[in-house]
Structure 1
Amino acid sequence: MMVQKMMDINCDLGEGLDNDNQLMPLLDSCNISCGGHAGDEFSIRKSIRMAKKNLVKIGAHPSYPDRENFGRKKLVIPFSDLKGSIMAQLKLFENICKEEQAIFHHIKPHGALYNEAAIDPEIAGLLIQVMSNFPGVNLYVPPNSVIERLALENNVPIITEAFADRSYHSNLTLVSRSHPKALLTDPKEVLDHVKQMMLYGKVKTIEGELVPIKAETLCIHGDNPSAVEILKTIRVNLNI
């Protein structure tokens, strides 16, 4: 019996890879790097134009200011510096959207920032403060997370997100990328993972449990070596 059907598929783009033009036509929404872990004014503008051409909803993908580790390592820096960096990334993105007459649809934190906001009230609270500067812009959040709760308490519009190509723990946190099964690259394995979530509203965790999960958008990582094949497999087999 079908419990839910996530109609929106998103992907992280503008990260300096060469597959964005293959990915974009297969997406409903995209998360564009805006200078923290990758990207610059040129790549942001290029990605926004590509998204407009393909009628893909446009979002910003801010991160810790850490290109060396691709934003996937928690940085211990003053909150004022972190907030300043995130604001600078998002203001640059917002200004380019205005110049390109594009709708700024959502914000999705990247990497370690996303993972920390899911469990850390201070990081989540900082992002909620940032969101107050972008009224009407949606925030992509993991379900049952600290940042989801704070967003709801502060009337920040949210869209809950699940990952097609990442493994979960039973508390719905993502398995660390240091684990060999953290990233799923086999399209068949990803399809089974997604079917479980979409058709039955549950995710099979790394511990072997089936845990309820509810989300409105489904993410595939643009730097997954099988990203294009995974997207095509999901679209064809689930008719979405």
Structure 2
Amino acid sequence: MQIDLNADAGESFGNWKLGRDEELFPLISSVNVACGFHAGDPLTIKRTLELARQNRVAVGAHPGFPDLVGFGRRELAATPDEVYADVLYQVGALSAFLRVAQMPLHHIKAHGALYNRATKDPETARAVAQAARDFDPAIPLVVLPNTPLEAEAQKLGLRTIAEAFPERGYSRDGRLAPRGLAGAWIHSPAEAARRAVQMVMRGEVETVDGGVVSVRCQTLCIHGDNPSAVEIAKAVREALQAEGIAIQTY
């Protein structure tokens, strides 16, 4: 049995620093690199790719809404055409650096409010998936299972990678609980590790209201902006390996 362990990273820009990427990268197998719209800048992208190469971490593009002030977590009134163009632009920017570094693009994963909207709105999902397909139909799209994002990507013939979140709370519908809701964040590394094993081995996890929801996953996400991201990633990795689960990319 295997599972990919991914993290959002490269989210600093200018003199503003976020995340502990140097400590986090040795613990993960793939990374979602901010492309400059919600976070990141050209020099941060370059340095993040160097760090990924050093740690043999697969690199994915992490496009979001153009919202540096809100870290891409505010939903913008972007049309499907705008979403398509924004995603294509960001993937292209990251790919320029990858090309120079002679590194492949492993996957594409939308960020924050764009990701969340694509899990509910078919038009947004189609725009994200179409941009990914038009860029390169061989590059997989990371998706929340059983959502319009997964459905639209598969309609276009894209390979999808199902994702789960051990350090985030779930609602009964299988989507992530709103961030302001009690239980939406799992702060304990031990609890996140327990949930990760439960997700991978049993295909389920408890919801914020005490229920249980089915979870299908090929990759687990750790949010790099979580202050406990390194401790959570370490606990999750050790718990999975203790169960004989290999940490590697799909």
Bin of the TM-score, shorter chain as denominator length: over 0.9
Partner of 1:149: 151
Q: Kindly tell me: are residues 153 and 235 of structure 1, through their superposed partners in 2, closer, same or farther at Cα, counting changes over 3 Å?
A: same
Q: Find out whether 1:186 has 2:188 as its counterpart.
A: yes
Per-residue CA deviations over 1:178-208 (Å, capped at 9, x if unaligned) read 1132111111221222122122111111121
Q: Find out whether 1:106 has 2:102 as its counterpart.
A: no
- Work out whether residues 19 and 225 of structure 2, in 8 Å CA contact, stay in contact via their aligned partners in 1: no
- Work out whether residues 38 and 67 of structure 1, in 8 Å CA contact, stay in contact via their aligned partners in 2: yes
Report deviation, 1:238.
2.3
Per-residue CA deviations over 1:86-125 (Å, capped at 9, x if unaligned) read 2211111111110110110100000011111111001001
- Work out whether residues 11 and 40 of structure 2, in 8 Å CA contact, stay in contact via their aligned partners in 1: yes
Partner of 1:197: 199
Among 5, 9, 14, which residue is 1:13 paired with? Answer: 9
Within 2, Cα distance between the matches of 1:73 and 1:43? 23
Within 1, Cα distance between the matches of 2:224 and 2:46? 18
Equivalent residue of 1:234, what SS? helix
Q: Kindly tell me: are residues 74 and 25 of structure 1, through their superposed partners in 2, closer, same or farther at Cα, counting changes over 3 Å?
A: same
Q: Kindly tell me: are residues 198 and 134 of structure 1, through their superposed partners in 2, closer, same or farther at Cα, counting changes over 3 Å?
A: same
Equivalent residue of 1:8, what SS? strand
Report deviation, 1:134.
2.0
- Structure 2 counterpart of 1:22, which letter? E
**Farther off after superposition, 189-198 or 137-146:** 189-198
Within 2, Cα distance between the matches of 1:219 and 1:56? 14
Q: Kindly tell me: are residues 178 and 6 of structure 1, through their superposed partners in 2, closer, same or farther at Cα, counting changes over 3 Å?
A: farther
Equivalent residue of 2:72, what SS? coil
Matched pairs, number:
236
Q: Which residues of 2 match residues 70-81 of structure 1 at below 5 A?
A: 70-81=71-82
Report deviation, 1:153.
1.6
Among 161, 167, 170, which residue is 1:168 paired with? Answer: 170
Equivalent residue of 2:119, what SS? helix
Equivalent residue of 1:190, what SS? helix
Report deviation, 1:84.
2.3
Among 213, 216, 220, which residue is 2:215 paired with? Answer: 213
Equivalent residue of 2:56, what SS? coil
Segments of structure 1 that go 5 or more residues without pairing to the other structure are: none
Please give the TM-score of this superposition, normalised by the length of structure 2: 0.91
Within 2, Cα distance between the matches of 1:231 and 1:128? 28
Report deviation, 1:6.
4.7
- Structure 2 counterpart of 1:147, which letter? L
Report deviation, 1:18.
4.4
Q: What percent of counterpart residues are identical?
A: 39
Report deviation, 1:135.
2.4
